[in-house]
């Protein structure tokens, strides 16, 4: 169990955007070219469009959490193209499987508050799923991730996916 303050990551996922123009297979092939280093300027443009397509869902999630739960979040609207390429090279993952292209976090003081916010997020986003990494941290990273689907096309993963971490949890977050 992770002691101290808790982190609740919220990861935003956009099923629309570039996905309206490219199939899942085309996005994954783009990821394969990026991983191999065999990409063009056009590929970098497509990756930039893809990562920026997460902005709308990120803004929606942040707005809803701020308005409904009166909580402040930290994070970024889109992972950099460099970070995405590095992650593709570091892990055996397809581009469409990267769940933290956009995301935010909520830091709270204890497990009770963490559990309360997770319950509140689930009430706000009834189709949310939860991944609890507190009992089995990965590389010292312990948090509760909440994965949320919005309006059929937009998803945020709570990693909003929702990440709530404790005071003594690792403060640097995997990219």
Q: Give pLDDT tens digits for 107-148.
A: 888 888 889 999 999 999 888 778 888 888 877 777 888 876
- 149 Cβ contact list (under 8 Å, min separation 6): 125, 127, 128, 155
Mean pLDDT of the chain, nearest integer = 76
Confidence of residue 169 (pLDDT cuts 50, 70, 90): very low
The DSSP element (H or E) to which 62 belongs, if any, is: helix 55-69
Q: Which residue has the higher pLDDT, 42 or 16?
A: 42
> Of the given ranges (39-48, 79-88, 119-128), which has the lowest mean pLDDT?
119-128
Distance between terminal CA atoms of the chain?
23
**Average pLDDT of the segment spanning 84-105:** 88
Q: Is 163 left (phi over 0), alpha (psi -120 to 50) or beta?
A: beta
Q: How far apart are CA 11 and CA 128, in angstroms?
A: 12
pLDDT band for position 83 (cuts 50, 70, 90)? very high
Q: Strand, helix or coil at 115?
A: helix
Give how far Cα 141 sits from Cα of 12, 92, 168, 170, Å. Answer: 19, 20, 10, 6
Residue 79 has pLDDT above 50, yes or no: yes
pLDDT of residue 105: 83
As a whole number of angstroms, the distance between CA 66 and CA 46 comes to 31
Question: Which residues neighbour 90 within 8 Å (Cβ) at sequence distance 6 or greater?
Answer: none
**Quick one: average pLDDT of 148-168?**
45
Summarize the confidence of residues 67-95 as an average pLDDT: 90
| CA-angle at 52, arms to 68 and 173, nearest 5° | 70
Tokens 């937009």 found at: 154
If one counts every other C-beta atom within 10 angstroms of the C-beta of residue 25, the result is 10
Tens of pLDDT, residue by residue over 46-66, are 999 888 888 787 888 889 999
**Residue 99: band (very low, low, confident or very high) from pLDDT cuts 50, 70, 90:** confident
Give the chain's count of helices (H) and strands (E): 5, 7
Residues 6+ apart with CB under 8 A from 110: 4, 5, 6, 166
Does 158 have pLDDT greater than 50? Answer: no
- Give CA–CA dist 130/173, Å, rounded: 18
pTM of the model: 0.72
The answer to whether residue 84 scores a pLDDT higher than 80 is: yes
């Amino acid at each position: 169990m992770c002691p101290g303050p808790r982190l609740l990551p919220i990861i935003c996922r956009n099923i629309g955007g570039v996905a309206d123009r490219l199939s899942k297979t085309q996005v994954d092939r783009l990821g394969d070219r990026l991983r191999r280093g065999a990409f063009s300027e056009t590929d970098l443009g497509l990756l930039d469009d893809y990562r920026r397509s997460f902005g709308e869902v990120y803004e929606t999630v942040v707005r809803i959490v701020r308005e409904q739960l009166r909580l402040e979040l930290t994070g970024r609207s889109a992972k950099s193209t460099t970070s995405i390429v590095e992650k593709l090279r570091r892990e055996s993952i397809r581009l469409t499987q990267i769940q933290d292209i956009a995301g935010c976090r909520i830091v709270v003081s204890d497990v009770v508050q963490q559990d309360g916010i997770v319950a509140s997020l689930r009430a706000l986003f009834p189709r949310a799923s939860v991944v609890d990494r507190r009992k089995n941290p990965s590389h010292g990273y312990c948090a509760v991730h909440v994965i949320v689907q919005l309006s059929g096309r937009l998803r945020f993963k709570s990693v909003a996916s929702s990440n709530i971490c404790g005071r003594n949890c690792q403060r640097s977050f995997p990219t």
